Amino acid sequence: MIDLRSDTVTLHTDAIRQAMAAADVGDDVYGDDPTVAALKADGARLAAKEAALFFPSGTQANLVALLTHCQRGEEYIVGQKAHNYLFEAGGTAVLGSIQPQPLDFADDATLPLDTVSAAIKPDDFHFARTLLLSLENTHNGKVVPQDYLRQAWELTREWQLSLYIDGARVFNTAVAQGIPLSEISQYCEYADHLPFQRIGCPGRIPFVR
């Protein structure tokens, strides 16, 4: 029986342990760890991105992504029960001074886009600036439909937001839909030609965990 409650309850097989023990290693600070370098190159290839980063935990990956997209006093829209809002010790607020704007998920694991639009703050110095929409795929075991991702991406273009997908189980999503990872990660790409009209909004780096 395979336990699919979480990727963290998966038990290592003997083959996995042997592969870990026999892996080529090196100093990653100097880029000399061939196993880590191969992992990052493979991740970038599968996601069709220029490069990938390796993090030891999903919580750290989420934190770095959100801190990259938002600065102090800025805001990201996220689901009430999303992992990077509910289960990560308030790291974005504690370490980045970033304000989350949580919304309720719909039954199909999406954030209703009319609700998202209504939650985007006006361009007014009284408000934290909304700069990011954070989604989760899968969420609560449900695959977020590709058509929804496309619509969400179009909404972020309209409002000049970045789009982040917490994809801790994104390979499950790809397999369930019979599509390559790149079909999902394409919506995490920030369009370089899209200008930011707000002061203090630097270019954003695309992320998918």
Ranges of H-type helices in the chain: 14-22, 34-47, 58-69, 83-86, 91-96, 113-119, 146-159, 170-177, 181-185
pLDDT recorded at residue 28:
87
DSSP assigned state of 51: -
pLDDT recorded at residue 4:
67
Question: Residue 70 — φ and ψ, nearest 5°?
Answer: -125, 150
pLDDT tens digits for range 19-33: 999 999 999 889 899
What domains lie within the chain, and their CATH numbers? 10-54 (no CATH), 57-209 (3.40.640.10)
Q: 133: closest CA among 70, 74, 76, 69? A: 76
Tokens of 118: 């209504």
pLDDT tens digits for range 94-104: 999 999 999 99
Q: 50: closest CA among 157, 206, 168? A: 206
> pTM of the predicted model, to two decimals?
0.87
pLDDT recorded at residue 12:
86
pLDDT recorded at residue 10:
78
Instruction: Flag residues of the chain having pLDDT under 70.
Output: 1-2, 4, 7, 189-209
